[in-house]
Homo-oligomer: A and B are copies of this chain.
């Protein structure tokens, strides 16, 4: 990870720490550790102390850490994490109070209490708040993650044929993501027919029928950053109900996207989408209208009815209203949006956006894809 980028993040975090009178912060949440160090592995903690940032890791990760974290002092712990923290706290003389992230487990906190001589306090959302607005380098990587997702879906469309199973189709999409040099942001959801009424359906052995519907919720993770897209298609024609639902969800999404702008209340964007669905006498979805994403697939801000605050420029969010009718159907449409001062930029503009299965047609240069429905 670029030293200047990490240095900028640490400065922001230190400002927050000094406001909250935190001298030494122990970061235990993996995504937060990645943010302040660049480290992409697991089972490691970061410590921000007076003059330095430490990464406490173990031998499985030391070689990787040396490569990924040029700004950190890397500590190869052999024993328990709590003891490594205690030794470090002892070495850093000025440390009288150690602050631990609230996402730390009760068990880890108990072990820290037993080992560390300093006073222990807790704090929340220090790194999460910094992570919520993205800098230029993060936005560039998220854009690439979004375009890889789009390309992977396009490559998979020709495999959406009667007979394919949910599990196979998910596997094909995942393979395209890998081929494009990325990984999954989360486990791909492929749901045929009424299975789509479960928003988090796990792909199974159900085969696609001649007249059927498909919901695909997926994302590529590129250089540690996520993207998140949902698309729905109808195969071999559409029932009147499916068409109605699709149109309403599309309108709800468009209305919410139009409402996105720095300074707008988060609850307002959430309400706009729900209202379109409620006015059409369709069941209003129980999940949020969207969520921030970045290193984690779900991170601040969360677009829910009880959300606080306003959208900020540099936040990257999904807008994903849906309609779920158990036993009948499920439709969700999800795009990735960058919040700007003047409004928004859609990061997934070229991703097929029609309930009819599109056929990608490329011109001779492989650019300017067109969609024939």
> Within the oligomer, what is the number of copies of this chain?
2
* Residue A279 is within 8 A (CB to CB) of chain B in the complex: no
Given A100-B106, A181-B205, A187-B183, are A171 and B168 neighbors across the interface (CB < 8 Å)?
Answer: no
Residues facing B in A252-299 (CB within 8 A) are 285-287
Which of A89-97, A134-142, A196-204 has 4 or more CB atoms under 8 Å from chain B? A196-204
CB pair A178 B170 closer than 8 Å: yes
A79 interface hit (Cβ, 8 Å) = yes
16 A-B residue pairings within 8 Å (CB atoms): A41-B200, A42-B200, A59-B287, A60-B199, A61-B198, A61-B200, A100-B106, A103-B106, A105-B105, A165-B181, A167-B181, A168-B179, A171-B174, A174-B175, A174-B178, A181-B204
Question: A100–B110 Cα gap in the complex (Å)?
Answer: 14
> A151 near B: Cβ within 8 Å?
no
Nearest 8 Cβ contacts at the A-B interface: A59-B286, A171-B178, A102-B107, A171-B175, A60-B199, A175-B175, A102-B106, A63-B198
Contacts A60-B200, A61-B198 known; list 6 others, CB within 8 Å: A79-B306, A102-B105, A102-B107, A102-B110, A167-B182, A171-B179
On chain B, the residues within 8 Å of A105 by CB distance are: 102-106
Q: Is the CB of A178 within 8 A of B167?
A: yes
The interface residues of chain B lying within 8 Å CB-to-CB of A242 are none
Q: Does A64 contact B (CB under 8 A)?
A: yes
Nearest Cβ in chain B — how far from A361, in angstroms?
A: 25
CB 8 Å contact bits of A62-105 with B (1 = contact, 0 = none):
01100000000000101100000000000000000000111111
Select A326's contact among B63, B174, B177, B285, beta carbons within 8 Å.
Answer: B63
Interfacial residues of chain A within 144-177, with CB under 8 A of chain B in the complex: 165, 167-168, 170-172, 174-177
* CB-defined contacts of A183 to chain B, threshold 8 Å: 187, 202
Cα separation A178 to B40 with both chains bound (whole Å) = 26
- Nearest opposing residue in chain B for A194, CB measure: B63
| A58, CB-defined interface residue at 8 Å | yes
Q: With a CB–CB cut-off of 8 A, which chain B residues contact A40?
A: 202
Question: Considering the chains assembled together, what is the distance between the CA atoms of A103 and B42 in angstroms?
Answer: 17
A109: interface (CB < 8 Å): yes
Which partner residue on chain B sits nearest A110 by CB separation? Answer: B102
A2 lies within 8 A of chain B by Cβ: no
Q: Are B106 and A197 in contact (CB under 8 A)?
A: no
Contact, CB under 8 Å: A200 / B106: no
Cβ contacts under 8 Å, A61 to chain B = 198-200
Q: How far is the CA of A168 from the CA of B177 in the complex (A)?
A: 9
Residues of B contacting A78 with CB < 8 Å?
286
- CA separation between A103 and B28, bound complex, in Å? 13
Chain B nearest CB from A1 CB (Å) reads 14
On chain B, the residues within 8 Å of A103 by CB distance are 105-107
Q: Say yes or no: B174 contacts A64, CB within 8 Å.
A: no
Residues in B neighbouring A165, C-beta threshold 8 A: 181
A187-B174 Cα distance, complex, nearest whole Å: 12
A129 in the interface (beta carbon within 8 A): no
Task: Kindly state whether residue A122 has any CB partner on chain B within 8 Å.
Answer: yes
A79 to chain B, nearest CB (A): 7
Name the B residues within 8 Å of A175 (CB-CB): 171-172, 174-175
